[in-house]
Structure 1
């Protein structure tokens, strides 16, 4: 298995995994990712600017995520308290292929994102998820993220939606 910056040759695979994730969220009865986000166009933009990463095994995409080193507009206000103040990196659009669920792929994605942040000198990693997305909450807690409170999404098709905010302090 290896991580790589996603290129357009992987776009169809990333979109297929995203659709699998959307279907799973629908099955568990939550509206996260049901309003057109994330779209093919968002992944195209991520790929174009080099912020989309994938985990592959023999050329097959197992999981994907977007990595961001600029402040997230949704994280300015929190009902609760972040673990750190100041600079942080964040992960978004984390998704794992259905065939790989339960095999530690999400944990590998979180670990790789945190390692990128550590290498860039960030003290922490932030991420958020829907209050009903229990599988993601469990994966985040297993990966060492701490629940910090709730945020309201500030942009996009899910603007105004409530999310649970998590943060992990990255050891230097």
Structure 2
């Protein structure tokens, strides 16, 4: 069974191959505009860890198989949403940078169990060409809310899930 724990600086060398593998999968699946030019870098991952927002998904043997960021809002890139609106103005948590080893199934399910146990109002975004993530987001019945822009100005599809406690 997959487990989730906070990532530590000692995990960085295990996280980076997961990130690089996710970048390769995105490229292979036609998502050639997200996670490019070295993003997310080792520095970005280290910042996530230092802020306490980084989480590691581990397999039965304790090996790192996935990574994600889960942090409370407000997220600055979610301040302005275009061609739609958020479902509410309630406090929320945001999920970013989900990555997993391709041979391991159930990573997104484990991430969602963890996140929904901590917060009932979740927001997530992804690139229009990230059909894998869009499928997973739809599987969990997130509502499409509109378009946001990253700090670098790139367009992302924004979603929200408000679960009943």
Q: TM-score, normalised by structure 2?
A: 0.91
Structure 1 residues 58-111: Cα deviation after superposition (integer angstroms, max 9, x where no partner) = 1111211011113111111112111111321101101111221xx221121122
- Secondary structure at the residue paired with 1:71? coil
Q: TM-score, normalising length from structure 1?
A: 0.88
Q: Which runs of 5+ in 1 are unaligned?
A: 119-123
Instruction: Describe the superposition over 1:21-72 as per-residue Cα deviations: whole angstroms up to 9, x where unpaired.
Output: 1111112232100033211111111112211111112111121101111311
Structure 2 residue runs without a partner (length 5+): none
Give the ranges of 4+ consecutive aligned residues of structure 1 lying more than 4 Å apart after TM superposition. none
Counterpart of 2:154 (choices 152, 161, 164) is 161
Q: Work out which of the residue numbers 53, 68, 72 in structure 1 matches 2:55.
A: 53
CA-based RMSD of the aligned residues comes to 1.3
Query: How many residues are paired up?
Result: 161
Aligned to 1:139: 136
Q: 1:63 touches 1:109 (CA, 8 Å); kept in 2?
A: no
Q: What's the CA shift for 1:7? A: 1.1
Of 74, 78, 95 in structure 2, the residue corresponding to residue 75 of structure 1 is 78
- Does structure 1 conserve the Cα–Cα contact (< 8 Å) formed by 2:147 and 2:156? yes
Q: Residue 22 of structure 1 corresponds to which residue in structure 2?
A: 23
**Helix, strand or coil for the counterpart of 2:116?**
helix
Query: How far apart are residue 149 of structure 1 and its match?
Result: 1.3
